[in-house]
Amino acid sequence: MKKLYFPLIFLQIIFGDTPKFGDEQIIIMMKEYFLASREAPALIGHRFYINRGESVIQIEIEPEIESVNDALLFSFKAMSQIANVSKTVFTQSVLVMHFGENAPPSVAKTDLSCSKEFFIDGTMNEDQWRKNCLTIGGK
């Protein structure tokens, strides 16, 4: 049953009717999305919360050092796609990247409406997304 979510989402997106899913369904889809791809970093946590009036989707990953850029893109694309089909109107996405016990995590943030232009609509390229949407810093 769980594995049916993504094919149904993509069919409905193709036909123009985007379904909306609750938080529990979103969590299942997110876990399945990360498990289904060989390019996915290890998903080690997630959180939905309100911060200063903004609805935030946050995921925590443990990427391989040599593929940090790919992990960052994969994770923000996943959050953009999830936010696009969620009943909750998320406005911000936060990615926390853990690099083992001896290194502090890195935190990256985006405004989801800006990220949607790159990951969903295709009206922005990666360089524009990095310049206009992405903020990276330590914790």
Q: For position 21, what pLDDT does the model report?
A: 86
Q: For position 13, what pLDDT does the model report?
A: 53
Q: How far apart are CA 122 and CA 55, in angstroms?
A: 23
Tell me the pLDDT tens digit for each residue of 7-44. Answer: 555 545 544 556 788 889 999 999 999 999 999 999 99
Catalogue all structural domains in the chain, each as residue range(s) with its CATH number. 32-138 (3.10.310)
Q: How far apart are CA 54 and CA 50, in angstroms?
A: 5
Q: State whether the Cα torsion 36-123-89-133 is positive or negative.
A: positive
SS3 114: helix
Q: For position 35, what pLDDT does the model report?
A: 93
Tokens of 74: 């994969």
Other CB atoms within 10 A of residue 72 CB: 20
Residues of the chain with confidence (pLDDT) below 50: 1, 11, 14-15
Q: For position 18, what pLDDT does the model report?
A: 62
Whether 101 and 136 have beta carbons less than 8 Å apart is answered as no
Which residues, listed in sequence order, are joined to residue 96 by a DSSP beta bridge? 60, 107
Rounded to 5°, angle at Cα 132 from 94 and 32: 35
